[in-house]
Structure 1
Amino acid sequence: MRTASCRCGQLKITCVGEPVRISVCHCLACQQRTGSAFSAQARWPDAQVTLDGEWKAFEAAGDSGARATFRFCPVCGSTVAFAGEGMPGMTAVPVGAFADPSFPAPTVSVYEDRRHPWTAVLGDDVERWD
């Protein structure tokens, strides 16, 4: 079991078992959402995820045109979970919300054609999508 939270700790998410996918995304929508050059997220089946605390939702389309719903803390604004049309039945949690440097590394890197040239996803075993 893994627990993640928003920055202020008001909103927590508990994930049972290991994630089915850990990925980084270089799309422009993820860059805007995170304020970084890419995002990192882990996904679990919806049935293995529990949110605890108050949250608000924001829905938007990503670079692919698929819509996603982001759940975030209304106090500190941290995104704690999101779900999208691209992977129905799955909940994604930003890896940073776990505040765990030993969290497993990503195995998938998407939208690499939008990757900032000064970034690199390390590892020969990373599946790369353009």
Structure 2
Amino acid sequence: MAGETVRMGGCACGAVRYEVEGEPYQSGLCHCTKCRKLTGSIFSATANWRRSKFKMDGEISTFDKRSFCPICGSRLFFIFDDAVEVFLGTLDPAPNDIRPMVEVWTVRREPWLPAVPDVRLYDENEVAPSDG
């Protein structure tokens, strides 16, 4: 679509490059144990786009849907059937102006780290609205 924002990103060594078109349909911070281990940090910051809005160049390695550069080891994104979840720190340039919409696993947020104002907070995983 003409006029849609295109963001580019990639790994630390430049062997893997990607782009996402338009705005993400979801973005957030996660403080769960798995994200802590995965990022080596106290939370992960990600955003989700539909697969049709995602393009990639280069070779990736994947473990449990988590994709990373086999050369430098940069963790890049999760690839799902219909979506991709991008680690925001891999976008060029910083800052990228993508604000979190949700914050999950807040029961594991470090006590000295304040919540992001005006985002939906969940003690654990985000719960989808019920149909009834």
Shorter-chain TM-score range: 0.7 to 0.9
2:130 equivalent in structure 1 = none
Q: Is the 8 A contact 1:109 1:126 kept in 2?
A: yes
Segment drifting more, 25-34 vs 96-105: 96-105
Identical aligned residues as a percent: 37
Q: CA deviation at 1:105?
A: 1.4
Q: CA deviation at 1:91?
A: 0.5
Flag the structure with higher strand content: 1
The separation in 2 between residues aligned to 1:110 and 1:33, in whole angstroms, is 16
Please say if 1:74 is aligned against 2:92: no
1:116 equivalent in structure 2 = 110
Amino acid aligned to 1:109: E
Q: CA deviation at 1:52?
A: 0.8
The separation in 1 between residues aligned to 2:78 and 2:17, in whole angstroms, is 13
C-alpha distance after superposition, 1:71-122 (max 9, x if no partner) = 10001101111035xxx62210001001421422111001111111121232
The separation in 2 between residues aligned to 1:103 and 1:4, in whole angstroms, is 14
The separation in 1 between residues aligned to 2:23 and 2:13, in whole angstroms, is 25
1:101 to 78, 89, 95: 95
Stretches of structure 1 that go unaligned for 5 or more consecutive residues are: 60-68
Q: Is the 8 A contact 1:44 1:91 kept in 2?
A: yes
Please say if 1:12 is aligned against 2:17: yes
Segment drifting more, 34-43 vs 114-123: 114-123
Q: Is the 8 A contact 1:13 1:80 kept in 2?
A: no
1:63 equivalent in structure 2 = none
The number of residues matched between the two structures is 117
1:48 equivalent in structure 2 = 53
TM-score, normalising length: structure 1 = 0.84
2:39 to 34, 39, 63: 34
2:85 to 77, 92, 112: 92
What is the RMSD of the two structures over their aligned residues, measured on CA atoms?
Answer: 1.3
Which 4+ runs in 1 deviate beyond 6 A? none
